[in-house]
Structure 1
């Protein structure tokens, strides 16, 4: 048996074992980007049409990660991203995007709370299975 890689689109490829008469599961890696909303939530719908009502590209989500890129030298202005949700029906993943606000206490600048950031582009990578 050999393993084959097939590129389905610029944002997805799948891996499966060839030689099996009827493979039950195919592993897919899906890459996509989403922009955070006013609440600091970036949601990527990985469906065939990219919308919540579309057919999912995956049956199960095995692993998902999110990443954000910033060149801002100020730690307070840099966006931070953390995974928020992997949807049970394998249609979307979401992440929280925040930054740290500064607070001055007794004339000393200290770090304060995390605030949602909107308009931040988030990269997602999802590994999952797809039933034939």
Structure 2
């Protein structure tokens, strides 16, 4: 099995199947980061130029995961992330970043709502296929 590392942004690893010098389909693992916008949406474009207008590094997305890092001591103020979309054309993934705010009555949170978090750095890991 050979591993090929791309110097494109985002970081991409390509894994070739053992014994095949020119496979028709290969798996790629792509890692990248994106910052959430005012609506709490973080979108990672994994194209040859890192933009929506670029050529996709994947033909299909098999699996994608997102995570967000926080050191905020308040559990409600910590951002949380959930996958939003895996693009059909294999160009991007997006995630929603939110936190919780609520009303406290007698020391108990009785009402809560999710609010978008702007400016949170989200890590994405994508596994997909690429027809060579």
TM-score (norm 1): 0.92
Q: Does the CA-based 8 Å contact 1:29-1:125 persist in structure 2? A: yes
Match of residue 5 from structure 1: 3
Alignment partner, residue 99 of structure 1: 99
Find the residue that maps to 2:78 and give its secondary structure. coil
- Tell me the residue number matched to 2:107: 108
C-alpha distance in structure 2 between counterparts of 1:53 and 1:20, whole Å: 32
In angstroms, what is the RMSD of aligned CA positions?
A: 1.4
Q: CA deviation at 1:104?
A: 2.3
| Deviation >6 Å, runs of 4+ | none
Task: Provide the C-alpha distance between the structure 2 equivalents of 1:42 and 1:16, rounded to a whole number of angstroms.
Answer: 30
> Which structure 2 residues correspond to residues 30-41 of structure 1 after superposition, within 5 A?
30-41=30-41
Aligned length: 129
Matched residue, 1:27: 27
Higher mean displacement: 108-117 or 30-39: 108-117
* Distance in 2 separating the partners of 1:61 and 1:39: 24
